[in-house]
């Protein structure tokens, strides 16, 4: 492969990290984004989810640091608080608090807009990378016969590239663009969850948030509402409420208080009543989780990849998206350094599928416990769902089970860890 120029579509988290990785191999990396990118940490139109509460898992922080050494120090310089991703967060499962436990893994309470801003600063300062804002990609160019993607089309003309990466998010256009060159769409898996979530920010007041990093109260079968509140950057609290199954979720103060009052942790309603707001509530819908199985595509062109939410977008309450995007970028770096890249797409999509399997099973396994959720259920998934319900009930009083469960939720261990014989025995004894 000619290694002169790579083009990344999308300057979100996945696109920026991919650019940083490819700059190790390519002489020039160009990142194109349709937005006018801000010079300060600020929300932008093409990323409506950046107004919502986010959580960077400990494994994600490690991946950011591996790609951009010193990145944690950048966060600390901005006043971002750090702590143990289990001991410093108050977790609930099936409506009851889990015993606190220490994971030994550190995470930072950073907003999506600050995380993207600092990543963009790193990328923009790289001598081989240029970030171009206000540039919309309308399609792909290809070699004769379409065997290789050779660049992108924009309103300003075509831009040749040795490799093109779609990091345009869940609304990406890869399937349509590839169809224009004779490639069928990939198999797609969906789990419809009917999620709505509302977030609002407040001045930080330790009297209103007594957990060092935050509180997480997920929804569960029989209770479609959930919520979270946590530290964010140097001086804010972010409060988020969620509703699954198309349940109503208002944005007015009294409506939010009604929802928060249904949840078991009083900190959520206390923040709504007493904290000083910073800005207005922001509401967003997330109808379904989507996984595009490019690793199963019968034909795929050389010189093209899909990454991040354009490859798989998860139910946001599991906080997996930014971490998975960072892990995919690390996978790409490993493959690029491994040697010849003629079959890069095949190797990347197979590796990414193995990487995605874990968070996908965590997210969809939890969602399919709701009888109302549309998705494929096999005898194995039904059995696993029933076991997970028993496991969570046992974990409410067993710190060993609690610690193992949270390590899986934080993508430190695979879900199979919950079926280890020693844990099966503890669940059976509790039952």
Q: How confident is the model at residue 101 (pLDDT cuts 50, 70, 90)?
A: confident
pLDDT over 50 (residue 122): yes
Note the pLDDT tens digit of each residue in 241-264. 999 999 999 999 999 999 999 999
In this prediction, residues 334-355 reach a mean pLDDT of 89
Q: Residue 377 has which token pair?
A: 């259920």
Residue 373 banded pLDDT, cuts 50, 70, 90: very high
pLDDT digits (tens, 9 = 90+) for 59-84: 999 999 999 999 999 999 999 999 99
- In order of start, what are the domains of the chain with their CATH numbers? 5-46+112-187+293-364 (3.50.50.60), 191-288 (3.30.9.30), 372-430 (no CATH)
Report CA 367 to chain centroid distance, whole Å.
16
Residue with tokens 């608080």: 81
Mean per-residue pLDDT for 287-311?
96
pLDDT for 340 equals 61
Nearest to 388 by CA among 362, 411, 407: 362
What's 182's DSSP letter? T
The DSSP-derived string for 206-241 is: TTT--SSSEEEE--BTTB-EEEEEEEETTTEEEEEE
- Residue 167 CB neighbour total at 10 angstroms: 30
Split at pLDDT 50, 70, 90, the class of 2 is very low
The CA-CA-CA angle for residues 389, 395, 397, to 5°, reads 130
SS3 290: strand
- What the block records as the tokens of 178 is 């590839």
The pLDDT of residue 58: 92
pLDDT band at 376 (very low <50, low <70, confident <90, very high): confident
Residue 97 has pLDDT above 80, yes or no: yes
Tokens of 143: 């070699």
Percentage of the chain modeled with pLDDT above 90: 85
Enter the pTM of the model.
0.94
Q: Give the pLDDT score at 379.
A: 85
- pLDDT at residue 430 greater than cutoff 60: yes
Output DSSP code: residue 374.
B
When pLDDT is cut at 50, 70 and 90, the band that residue 1 belongs to is very low
Distances in Å between the alpha carbon of 255 and those of 52, 198, 222, 243, 272?
Answer: 18, 11, 20, 13, 11
């Amino acid at each position: 492969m000619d290694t002169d120029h790579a083009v990344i579509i999308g300057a979100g988290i996945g696109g920026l990290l991919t650019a940083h990785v490819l700059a190790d191999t390519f002489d020039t990396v160009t990142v194109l984004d349709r937005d006018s990118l801000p010079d300060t940490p600020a929300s932008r139109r093409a990323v409506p989810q950046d107004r919502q509460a986010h959580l960077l898992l400990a494994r994600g922080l490690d991946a950011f640091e591996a790609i951009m050494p010193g990145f944690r120090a950048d966060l600390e310089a901005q006043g971002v608080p750090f702590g143990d991703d289990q001991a410093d967060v108050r977790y609930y499962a099936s409506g009851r608090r889990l015993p606190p436990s220490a994971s030994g893994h550190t995470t930072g309470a950073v907003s999506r807009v600050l995380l993207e801003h600092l990543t963009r600063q790193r990328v923009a300062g790289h001598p081989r990378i240029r970030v171009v804002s206000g540039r919309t990609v309308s399609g792909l160019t290809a070699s004769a016969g379409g065997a290789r993607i050779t660049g992108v089309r924009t309103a300003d003309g075509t831009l040749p590239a040795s490799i093109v990466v779609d990091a345009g998010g869940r609304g990406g256009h890869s399937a349509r663009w590839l169809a224009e060159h004779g490639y069928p769409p990939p198999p797609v898996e969906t789990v419809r969850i009917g999620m709505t979530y509302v977030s609002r920010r407040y001045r930080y007041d330790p009297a209103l948030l007594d957990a060092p990093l935050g509180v997480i109260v997920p929804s569960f079968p029989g209770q479609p509402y959930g919520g979270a509140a946590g530290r964010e950057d140097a001086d804010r609290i972010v409060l988020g409420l969620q509703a699954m199954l198309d349940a109503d979720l208002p944005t007015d103060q009294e409506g939010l208080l009604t929802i928060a009052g249904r949840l078991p942790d009083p900190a959520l309603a206390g923040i709504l009543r007493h904290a000083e707001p910073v800005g207005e509530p922001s509401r967003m819908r997330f109808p379904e989780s989507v996984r595009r199985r490019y690793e199963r595509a019968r034909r795929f062109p050389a010189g093209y990849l899909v990454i991040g939410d354009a490859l798989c977008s998860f139910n946001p309450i599991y906080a997996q998206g930014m971490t998975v995007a960072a892990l995919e970028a690390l996978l790409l770096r490993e493959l690029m350094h491994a040697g010849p890249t003629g079959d890069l797409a095949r190797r990347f999509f197979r590796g990414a599928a193995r990487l995605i399997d874990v968070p996908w099973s965590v997210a969809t396994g939890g969602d399919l416990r709701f009888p109302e959720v549309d998705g494929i259920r096999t005898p194995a998934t039904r059995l696993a769902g029933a076991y997970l319900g028993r496991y969570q009930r046992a974990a409410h009083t067993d710190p060993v089970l609690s610690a193992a469960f949270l390590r899986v939720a934080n993508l430190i261990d695979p879900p199979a860890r919950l079926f280890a014989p020693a844990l099966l025995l503890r669940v059976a004894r509790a039952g």
